Amino acid sequence: MKRFEWFIARKYFWAQRRTLSTGLIALFSAAGVTVGTWLLIFVLSAINGFEHEVKRQLIGKDAHIEITQYQFAPVKAYDSLATRVRRFPQVTAVSPFIMSKTIISRKKNQDGIVVYGIDSASSKDVIGLSGTISHGRYRFHGLKDTTGKAYPGIILGYALANRLQASIGDKVFLADFTDAGELGAAGFAPKIAPFLVAATFESGMYQFDESLAYISLEDAQKLFGLKGAATGLQLRVADPYKSGKIADAMEDTLGFPYRALDWQAKNYTLIKWMSYEKVLVGLALGIIIIIAAFNIISSLVMAVNDKVREIGILRAMGATRSGILRIFMLEGMLIGLSGSFAGTGLGLLSYWLQSRFGLIQLPGDVYFVTVLPVELRWPDVASVLILTNFLCGIATILPAMKAARHDPVEAIRHE
């Protein structure tokens, strides 16, 4: 590219327009690119922040991998299975568990929930339940009611406890409707077991807090008729982001009838939705940049009409059609570059202010965080810059071609 083309393009970019409307359109074009780039970078960082926070919650509070049998058949020799699983180099902790759907009730309040029976000691290294206790104590044994009678303990999600109107020390009942139920005089009756609320937890994931309860593994075995058996094993691995490959390797090694499901597969719909959300938001905000690109076309068309005489003089002095084409393409790209870099600066500044001072607050009763989380990823910033300037570059082609087609004699005669 010749130096004079760059020189002329810069002069045209900074020069005063003959009409106010031409200058305003160029200004609005740059402003549109600025706003679009700014919003894209900041909103993408917010989506990244939410995605990171959700995954952190899932990784920290749920097992990385669950090993069960097909159709959730009871695993009787779960101790020997745990010994085999511990041989995998990535496995850091293993704990047996029982999972079942059941009915919980307190006085006139009833609800359908999922109950986990866990080993109170080994599960601490696998799931983060003990770290999410909001009220009460993490324990399943040694609880007594006001009369001094001992009952097993149960830990409820805070939202579930609120629905049941259950507080610490209140008595709740779990019902088992499986074949373990007892046959009474009136026919088949569910097995009912009383528990005292030992604690409530707040995981940060509302769907967990409203539907989960935890009891000890031994009490779950008694309630669901699984003496000496478990639903499966919960595992924690060194790198949770490699849990999918580890689960596949375990499934191949253990063979039928065992299956291994990692946390990403369990939450596939949620993770996939977050990925689609990022694309859809990017497309929606990209419309702002597309509109700004159309404004660049209008600005350059008016600039070409304003500078017909100058184009004729340049052509008469020896400038080629391709040179004129490059001059006006450069002028349009300068509008896009100035807007995209200004928008990038605003986006980075907004990210820094939010990450440092947490200016945007969120209602804690609606979201699992009280401050809008942000996470900057440089590939996103680079992609926004490249896409923005690519669209602005495409927008310059038609008006630049219009300028290049001017005949020098007719252009000068025009004035």
* pLDDT tens per residue across span 373-409: 999 999 999 999 999 999 898 988 888 888 878 666 6
Does 330 share its domain with 379? yes
- What DSSP state is assigned to residue 81? H
- 258 contact partners, CB below 8 Å, separation of at least 6: 67, 68, 69, 81, 250, 251
pTM over 0.75: yes
Q: Quick one: pLDDT at residue 173?
A: 96
pLDDT tens per residue, range 92-134: 999 999 999 999 999 889 999 999 999 999 999 999 899 999 9
Q: Are strands 91-106 and 191-201 parallel, antiparallel or unpaired?
A: unpaired
Task: Kindly state whether residue 265 falls inside one of the protein's structural domains.
Answer: no
Contact 154, 215 (CB under 8 A): yes
Exposure string of 104-135, with b = 16+ CB inside 10 Å and e = fewer, is: bebeeeeeebebbbbbbebbbebbbbbebbee
Mean pLDDT score across all residues of the chain? 87
Does 13 share its domain with 86? no
> Phi and psi (nearest 5°) for 183?
-90, 110
Contact 263, 62 (CB under 8 A): yes
Does 288 share its domain with 145? no
Does 83 share its domain with 54? no
Paired residues of 200 in beta bridges: 135, 156
Q: What is the DSSP code string of 283-335?
A: HHHHHHHHHHHHHHHHHHHHHHHHTHHHHHHHHHTT--HHHHHHHHHHHHHHH
User: How far, CA to CA in Å, does 58 sit from each of 157, 208, 299?
Assistant: 16, 10, 50
Last residue of a domain, one of 224, 256, 288: 256
Task: Kindly state whether residue 40 falls inside one of the protein's structural domains.
Answer: yes
Task: Kindly state whether residue 375 falls inside one of the protein's structural domains.
Answer: yes
Q: Is the pLDDT of residue 12 over 70?
A: no
Task: Kindly state whether residue 261 falls inside one of the protein's structural domains.
Answer: no
Q: Identify the three-state secondary structure at position 277.
A: helix
Contact 403, 328 (CB under 8 A): yes
Q: Quick one: pLDDT at residue 17?
A: 47
- For residue 98, the surrounding DSSP H or E stretch is strand 91-106
- What DSSP state is assigned to residue 370? S
Select the more confidently predicted residue: 353 or 28: 353
Does 108 share its domain with 215? yes
Does 225 share its domain with 85? yes
Q: Quick one: pLDDT at residue 411?
A: 55
Does 210 share its domain with 156? yes
Q: Identify the three-state secondary structure at position 272.
A: helix
Query: What is the CA angle 18-21-22, rounded to 5?
Result: 60
Q: 326: pLDDT confidence band, cut at 50, 70 and 90?
A: confident
Last residue of a domain, one of 210, 231, 256: 256
Last residue of a domain, one of 256, 286, 303: 256
pLDDT tens per residue, range 46-59: 999 989 988 888 88
Does 299 share its domain with 383? yes
Closest CA to 232 of 249, 243, 217, 214: 217
Q: Quick one: pLDDT at residue 311?
A: 74
Does 297 share its domain with 204? no
Closest CA to 225 of 172, 166, 180, 165: 180
Task: Kindly state whether residue 219 falls inside one of the protein's structural domains.
Answer: yes
What six digits make up the tokens of 52?
Answer: 């990171």
Task: Kindly state whether residue 64 falls inside one of the protein's structural domains.
Answer: no
Task: Kindly state whether residue 360 falls inside one of the protein's structural domains.
Answer: yes
Select the more confidently predicted residue: 2 or 77: 77
The distance of Cα 379 from the centroid of its chain, to the nearest Å, equals 17
Does 16 share its domain with 78? no
Q: How many domains does the chain have?
A: 2
Does 387 share its domain with 308? yes
Q: Quick one: pLDDT at residue 16?
A: 45
Select the more confidently predicted residue: 295 or 161: 161
* Burial status of residue 293 (CB atoms within 10 A of its CB: 0-12, 13-18, 19 or more): buried
pLDDT tens per residue, range 156-188: 999 999 999 999 999 999 998 875 445 555 556
Instruction: Return d(Cα 343, Cα 376) in angstroms, integer.
Output: 15
Count CB-CB contacts under 10 A for residue 141: 13
> Phi and psi (nearest 5°) for 223?
-65, -45
Length of the chain: 415
Does 111 share its domain with 172? yes
Q: Domain containing 325: what range?
A: 3-58+270-413
Task: Kindly state whether residue 66 falls inside one of the protein's structural domains.
Answer: no
